[in-house]
Structure 1
Amino acid sequence: MALLWRRQSVLPGFGLAMGITVTYLSLLVLVPLSMIFLKTATLQPAEIWAVVTSPRAVASLKMSFVASLIAAGINAVFGVLVAWVLVRYSFPGKSIVDALVDLPFALPTAVGGIALTAIYAQQGWVGRFLYPLGIQSAFSRLGVVIALTFVGLPFVVRTVQPVMEELEVDQEEAAASLGAGRFEIFRRILLPALWPSILTGFAMSFARAFGEYGSVVFISGNMPFKTEITPLVIMTKLEQYDYAGATALALVMLLCSFVLLFLINRLQSWSGARVSSRSAVEAPQPASERSAGARAPGVAS
């Protein structure tokens, strides 16, 4: 077995590199996460259930889940549109728009939350037009959705954009020459090719929004049972020195994150298999097979 393992490890230094990798991941990921399980284990199962199913915790989990789902859905639609514009059109300032897509990655979430609050507040640039219409954009559930949409948009755009760049326009032009409308071209040609990447971007945007804290805490108003998210409830319990209760809620979010990561990996695997099968189907037929088929046109299958 040892000889077989050495034969499979072609590159030198595998043992040292593997040891450094495991140590690095253990110190930064495994050990901190294991402390959540150990701290939660100090509670009895009935106590954990009481913390997780308390009305405030359930309301915050529902708020986080629903708002993240809505924000990911919005990003799935408009993220595809942004990727389409960046890939298919050339216009002045395109590089600036492309860089702005990555702004939520580089910008501290607290800064983004303060900026969104200033813009969507009652006297803000956008809020002053929404409040007279009866739309409360800041310090409401709508504000939570706006903040989560802001942090999740790059995931959809950067997932769909590379796939869209690889699509050839020949099929679209052929369909248009045959009388197909724009919606039909998108539904029957573009959407099947983009659907796996859209699903992956949607899942990544949802996972990012579900655990968001910094950009939401300012614009939400933090009203219990209305706009309070689960990370804020965890912070409140920490401030009250209820470490076991905070880790119990953190454990719930950790398990949800594991499920989301599993779904994302499955979507990526399915996307890769779909692209590979499609490439195999669209691969040009070898010249020998084409010539053989041409010499025997009457052979029955």
Structure 2
Amino acid sequence: MFQSQLKSRAKMKRRQIIPGFGLTFGLSLSYLSLLVLIPLSMIFIYTSQLGWDGFLKQISQPLVLAAYRLSFTTALAASLINLVFGTLTAWVLVRYSFPGRKLIDGLLDLPFALPTSVAGITLATLYATNGWIGRLLPFKVSYTQTGIVIALILIGMPFVVRIVEPVLQNMEKEGEEASAVLGANRWQTLIHIVFPKIRAAAFSGFALAFSWALGEYGSVVFIAGNMPFKTESAPLVIMQKLEAFDYDGATSVALVLLIASFLILFLINFSQWLSKRKFADQ
């Protein structure tokens, strides 16, 4: 009897923590619909009016295909680099104490706060042939695909670090200690003990960085040079078509990027579901 009263009181307290669930849920759903669902659905609706042939005609233009190829390859290259060095950075920040650690940890969030156009201008100036860094390099960076990859590395760097970091912080060290006691070296411990635990988080960070880089415009427009078939990415093509009042072409190109982002989001959620299921089975 006493336990049932405690349970009923606990339920009442849980219900009273955030009063007005119906109202708050309705406002949240309206907010999400107005800012996300309705604008995105309009891209599908507007593009559907072109018909399948019209849509294929828009996205199969040589200039558009070259822009897709550039966007996907540079985003993939930047995300893979961030996957490796972002995971390494998270490991160093979590497992080691050294002077300036908090400063470095705070600077990692700078790409989130820094306007992307400022980042693009800064990179273009530094890596120009007469820039502080560009003059020291034996190859050209600004206004090339290499410069685009560097810009995408900058804006995507925090994703992997911030997702892998809390996983490493909550990871118990007993498994690593047991591996060392049993005679495993550091690489074996890293591959068989540590990596399986951070694999899902690292993949999520990689996917988010790739998705963000795929649609990046501000930091790329200044360092790319915007040369057709060479350094013109898909977001730049969208902006050019909008400036030319070619709304059919702009929405068609944007729809492909939107579908790619949805697929990436699905893969992230699916990987997290698999990770939770595997953890529950253990």
Match of 2:232 in 1: 228
Match of 1:295 in 2: none
Match of 1:191 in 2: 195
Letter in 1 for 2:147: G
> How many equivalent residue pairs?
268
1:200-233 CA-partner distances (Å, limit 9, x unpaired): 1111111111111111111111111111110000
Letter in 2 for 1:269: W
> Quick one: which of 65, 68, 80 aligns to 1:61?
68
Match of 1:128 in 2: 135
Structure 2: state its 5+ residue gaps: 1-13
Which range moves more in the overlay, 43-52 or 198-207?
Answer: 43-52
In the TM superposition, 1:94-105 aligns within 5 A as 94-105=101-112
Relative distance call for 1:119 and 1:15 in structure 2 (3 A) is same
- Quote the Cα distance in structure 1 between the aligned partners of 2:236 and 2:81: 24
Task: Report SS of the residue matched to 1:215.
Answer: helix
Match of 1:262 in 2: 266
Shift of 1:118: 1.4
- Quote the Cα distance in structure 2 between the aligned partners of 1:271 and 1:171: 18
Letter in 1 for 2:177: E
Match of 1:242 in 2: 246
Provide TM-score, normalisation by structure 1.
0.84
Match of 1:116 in 2: 123
> Quick one: which of 143, 146, 162 aligns to 2:147?
143
Task: Report SS of the residue matched to 2:99.
Answer: coil
> Quick one: which of 46, 50, 58 aligns to 1:43?
50
Match of 1:152 in 2: 156
Is the radius of gyration larger for structure 1 or structure 2? 1
Pair 1:14-2:38 in alignment: no
Letter in 2 for 1:26: S
Letter in 2 for 1:79: G
Pair 1:162-2:166 in alignment: yes
Shift of 1:263: 0.9
Contact 1:159 1:201 (C-alpha < 8 Å) held by counterparts: yes
1:247-266 CA-partner distances (Å, limit 9, x unpaired): 11111111111111111111
- Quote the Cα distance in structure 1 between the aligned partners of 2:136 and 2:76: 26
Match of 1:290 in 2: none
Match of 2:217 in 1: 213
Letter in 2 for 1:194: I
Shift of 1:182: 1.7
Shift of 1:177: 3.9
Task: Report SS of the residue matched to 2:184.
Answer: coil
Relative distance call for 1:174 and 1:19 in structure 2 (3 A) is closer
Which range moves more in the overlay, 265-274 or 84-93?
Answer: 265-274
1:249-299 CA-partner distances (Å, limit 9, x unpaired): 11111111111111111122223333444xxx4xxxxxxxxxxxxxxxxxx
Shift of 1:54: 0.5
Structure 1: state its 5+ residue gaps: 1-8, 282-301
Shift of 1:16: 1.0
Match of 1:274 in 2: 278
Shift of 1:180: 2.3
Shift of 1:23: 1.2
1:49-101 CA-partner distances (Å, limit 9, x unpaired): 11101001111111111111111110110001100110011111111100111
Shift of 1:45: 2.6
Match of 2:205 in 1: 201
- Quote the Cα distance in structure 1 between the aligned partners of 2:65 and 2:98: 47
Contact 1:163 1:194 (C-alpha < 8 Å) held by counterparts: yes
Match of 1:179 in 2: 183
Contact 1:71 1:149 (C-alpha < 8 Å) held by counterparts: yes
Identity of aligned residues (%): 52
Contact 1:197 1:271 (C-alpha < 8 Å) held by counterparts: no
Letter in 2 for 1:123: N
Letter in 1 for 2:50: L
- Quote the Cα distance in structure 2 between the aligned partners of 1:250 and 1:17: 32
Relative distance call for 1:24 and 1:182 in structure 2 (3 A) is same
- Quote the Cα distance in structure 1 between the aligned partners of 2:183 and 2:37: 57
